[in-house]
Amino acid sequence: WPSISFGPPGNIDDLFSFGFFAAIPAFLCGVCQYYAASSVDPLHLKYFSFSGRVIALALMHKVQVGVVFDRMFFLQLAGRSVTLEDVCDADPILYMSCKQILEMDAAILDSDALGLTFAREIDMMGSKRTVELCPGGKDIIVNSRNREEYVRLMIKHCFVTSISEQVAHFAQGFGDILSNSRHQRFFFDSMDLKDFDRMLGGSNNVINVKDWKEHTEYNGYKSKDRQIYWFWKVVESMSEEQRRVLLFFWTSIKYLPVDGFGGLPSRLYIYKSSSDSQECLPTSHTCFYRLCLPAYGTKSMMHDRLQLISQEHISCSFGTS
């Protein structure tokens, strides 16, 4: 099993958070969007190179990290052009504005009623400045004859030019692990974004407890022992989020492969803890998918201990190695 740890400190959520990449945090639909504003950090390009290596390692070792890629970022990695329709979800306001310009009556647009030129104002962490979409752009008025070119350049500047360095450094880091640049572009171009997201993000399907049990073996316990019976009863009573947190505590994985537990590189294990103390919490060895479970004397005690380690802040900081 690869020596990769996505648990704190420095976990995968932090890697794709604002502090590193100006990304949308906390899995807002699970999408990471990369912005030019990340350049305010002098080390931002190194972070992009590092994230490329992390994603490549995750793909190489079939580790699901619960992250899906922004469409514009993926298209550039694949060497594809970004079109207006591609930005619909990324920036609905810009998308609708461009659509209105393209569909607007020519007479209204040619009257300069909108006052548009081939320039745009950008906000870099509170500091506004105007950039030209082409040489002399601030003096070129948008009209019915050049509006398609205006929209093309606007999309290119917003989603390509402004983050080209970030994309290049991510690709470099990715290529350091998996392939050279030529093969890498073919890799991204040969698949659909949804397929890539399934490989990287894993499945958001409800965790199947029956499948979980079928892929779990025991050491020091037997499947019919009362502690094992209680354990699975407690797991069945958990919410979906609690199950994911427990799975993360146990394996450092929160998102399963599309084919469930059978897609993991190893079976899961429950070991009987060497401690006789009823007060001890379960511990885990995530690299080996091993949960060390004390022989609790009652179902109530089993319930309380499992509920405790199924809290996010405890799962991410206690008992894992």
Active-site annotation holder among 88, 134, 287, 316: 287
In DSSP notation, 47-108 reads: HHHHHHHHHHHHHHTT---S-EE-HHHHHHHTTPPP-GGGGTTT-HHHHHHHHHHHHS-HHH
CB contact at 8 A, 280 and 273:
yes
The CA distance from 307 to 246, in Å, is 9
The CA distance from 149 to 156, in Å, is 10
Asked if the bond preceding 9 is cis, omega within 30° of 0, the reply is yes
The CA distance from 122 to 124, in Å, is 6
Catalytic: 32?
no
Q: Which of 225, 305, 310 is nearest to 271 (CA)?
A: 225
Catalytic residue list = 287
